[in-house]
Amino acid sequence: MIRVLIADDQDMVRIGFRMILDAQDDIEVVADVADGVSAVAKARELRPDVCLLDIRMPGIDGLEVTKQLAGPDVADPLKVVVVTTFDLDEYVHTALRNGASGFLLKDAGPALLIEAVRAAARGDALVSPQITVRLLKHFDGGAVKRDVSPPSEPLTARELDVVKAAAKGLTNTEIGAELFLSLSTVKTHLASVQGKVGARNRVEIAAWAWRSGVVD
């Protein structure tokens, strides 16, 4: 079972998300909380497989909760998916740096919500093309090519193909289908790229690709 924590200050959102997720045979909502302080406490207590976090919450906002649960200084980070009404570029930039591994708008629909949870649980975070690609492309003031650190080693041609596909929002399975690669090969390429560009997850790889001009 995929164990999920929901954090949102709106009762109806939490109830709705719980109903959708609990109806799945492979997902169990272990807690739902209404503020950021409770989200951090419950997540550390229960260690869910996936945390669904709203951004605007009382006490501590979802961006800070993300940092405390999944940030670069966290020894054993949790999987965090930001689920929000606000698709503002600066939010995405901060959430990425704070360790978020997926993004979803609240009106995306039940199917995407379920897939986002399953994707995060398997380490294949959902990066919705219609939402996240636009935000990643413009999250630093619209400037795609910036002063980005070069890779420690040059990326191979196949690694670049995989990076471009990831930056378009494709999951590992979709990348494999598009590039005629096995799932394990896709994961191997992404792991290699992570090491070369200093990224901690596939979302940071996508952000690096947009910022460095690998994709345009």
Domain-wise residue ranges, the chain: 2-126, 157-212
Tens-digit pLDDT profile for residues 128-162: 555 555 555 554 444 444 567 789 999 999 999 99
Dihedrals φ, ψ of 141, to 5°?
75, 20
Q: Pick the range with the lowest mean pLDDT from 52-56, 87-91, 200-204.
A: 87-91
Q: What pLDDT is recorded for position 62? A: 95
* Residue range 157-212, CATH number: 1.10.10.10
Calpha distance 53→6 (Å, rounded)? 6
Tens-digit pLDDT profile for residues 37-62: 999 999 999 999 999 999 999 999 99
Tokens of 157: 């041609």
Within 23-70, where are the H helices? 36-46, 62-70
Is the domain defined by 2-126 classed in CATH 3.40.50.2300? yes
Contact 166, 175 (CB under 8 A): yes
Name the residue among 173, 30, 21 with its Cα closest to residue 104.
21
Q: Which amino acid is at 195?
A: G
